Structure 1
């Protein structure tokens, strides 16, 4: 694996206090590398598509978010969103991969709202995510 990718993934894992099992989620750094401008070489996206990439949707690994709960999956008095942690981007659709803190599952959803509070304030969530990193279930909305 490329040294730059390994270094970025290691930094992300350390920042989020993830164990080795979380390396797969941290390697989403490749997506970031391919979109970050670099003065030493032409931008890969720009070379391939002939235009600058839209970076507005990029989010930091482990940012705290709220993921929408579909009406069919909640009762009248249940919350409309669950707290979650951003893991990366879906490879199969224009959606985000998040760790749902309520259900303790990896979800893929387009209906995500970013909450820009640093991860130090939710270190308990990181330990829960660590414990379940090896047994990931994917639930699509």
Structure 2
């Protein structure tokens, strides 16, 4: 998932969390082709919310009347117990939770993410050398 999205190992925890989420919503032979989610909750899984890990997203922000209404981020997975998506915001440098998201799954290559990660790692190396 990380290599397909063009992300570094920095996001391995997000990838593992998303993989577990997907595994629990997939049918298993040992459960007579039922999903672990269905066996646990008694409800069938909703597959309409599934998105490609690492795809570009645009999430809604409310920072002021003349400011942009959306910021670009990277889809990192799903939040348990909440109807929201985990989005990594390069501008803020952290993972946020948002329900108002527009997905751009056609562009999986994230050159902005790579450049931001490289600049972050280079600046921390420079600080250590000084």
TM-score higher than 0.5:
yes
CA change 1:19–1:131 in 2 (3 A) is farther
Q: TM-score, normalised by structure 2?
A: 0.75
Task: Give the aligned partner of residue 52 of structure 1.
Answer: 44
For 2:47 and 2:117, locate their aligned partners in 1 and report how far apart those are by CA, in whole Å.
27
CA RMSD of aligned residues (A): 2.3
Q: TM-score, normalised by structure 1?
A: 0.70
CA change 1:116–1:13 in 2 (3 A) is closer
For 1:26 and 1:131, locate their aligned partners in 2 and report how far apart those are by CA, in whole Å.
22
More helix by proportion, 1 or 2? 2
The superposition leaves residues 64-116 of structure 1 with CA deviations (integer Å, 9 ceiling, x where unpaired) of 1111002xxx2222110001110011235321110123333321111111122
**Of the two, which has the highest radius of gyration?**
2
Structure 1 runs of 4+ off > 3 angstroms?
A: 129-133
CA-CA distance at 1:17 after TM superposition? 2.9
Residue 97 of structure 1 aligns to a residue whose secondary structure is: strand
Task: Give the aligned partner of residue 108 of structure 1.
Answer: 97
The number of residue pairs the alignment matches comes to 117
